[in-house]
Amino acid sequence: MFSEISIRGYFQILLGFILIFVSTSTIRHQKRLENPKTLIDGKVLSSKLVKEMDNQGFYRQFYYKLNIEVRDNNKKKRYTINSMDEYKKGDDISIMTDASNKLKMKVFNKSKTFLLGQWLMLVIGFFIFLTPFAKMKFSETYLTALMAPLSSLVGIALIFVYLKEKKRNLEEIDSEIVAVLKWQKINVNEEGEKKHKAATALYCPVLKYEYDGLEKIRRSRLHSNDYNFYPLGKKMSIYIDKDSGEVLEERPKQSMLLMGLVLLIMGAIGIVAIYI
């Protein structure tokens, strides 16, 4: 069987295996972080806004420095953590180990852990990995033989995600752009001069909103290469999960459901044509 696979096919199998391994490792790691055993609950003792503006009127830094007290193994500990979101003194908060630096802690935010990119990488990895075998078994129809089940799986996944997100108890509220953060990588040369590493910059809106009678400010997760996309005073809708308190900047769109149904139907037709 394996003697019929070309050298190119072996390279495809290896590449597919690497993509599958990397994506599954990342997904497993994130799922472990989401396990309640890895989270530590605490309270915010103090919150300080750190901001720095350039001569063009863009913020180059905009974050909150939080002083947090937690109880870990019946011992009180304090951490200083930077957060994109605003927290006030007395707020409950959950923190976790920073995956990029095991010695640091960071604020846990479940809304940021959706791994769409890793799931897509996993699907692509399986596609590449199975291509040589499908080509050997199905000859000219190997692409249909591969795409049909994968299309169905992706369609089912999109439908599942849409229905799951649709069930969330979301409240839509208005927010206003009060500032814009300019993010651009900078290198420092031997003379200490700062130079931009990237030619283009990303612009992130800073949003002000009111919820439960409290005014809050948060740095948006959205961004654009064009600063004109986020004019000051522009209104943007955000969504509060009433059950968890999470802030979402987008809600599930019907286009996701439609795309899932189309992929599922196309995949089912392909499976019927090839395997039956």
pLDDT (tens, 9 = 90+) of the chain, 276 residues, equals: 556 677 777 787 888 888 888 888 877 777 766 665 677 888 999 999 998 888 888 888 889 999 999 887 788 889 999 988 888 899 888 887 776 666 677 887 665 455 666 777 787 888 888 888 777 776 656 666 777 787 888 888 888 888 888 888 889 999 999 999 988 766 555 555 555 555 578 899 999 999 888 888 888 888 888 888 999 999 999 998 888 777 888 887 888 889 889 988 988 887 787 766
User: Do residues 183 and 255 touch, judged by C-beta distance below 8 A?
Assistant: no
What's the CA dihedral at 22, 26, 27, 30 to 10 degrees?
Answer: 170
Domain boundaries in the chain?
A: 38-107, 170-242
Q: Which two tokens stand for residue 156?
A: 């089912």
Tell how strand 247-248 and strand 59-72 pair up: unpaired
The helix/strand/coil state of 86 is coil
CB–CB of 125/19 below 8 Å? yes
Spatial CA neighbour of 219 closest among 275, 171, 178, 164? 178
pTM of the predicted protein model? 0.64
Question: Tokens 């992929």 sit at which residue?
Answer: 263
* Residue 9, amino acid: G
**CA-to-CA distance for 238 and 209, rounded, in angstroms?**
9
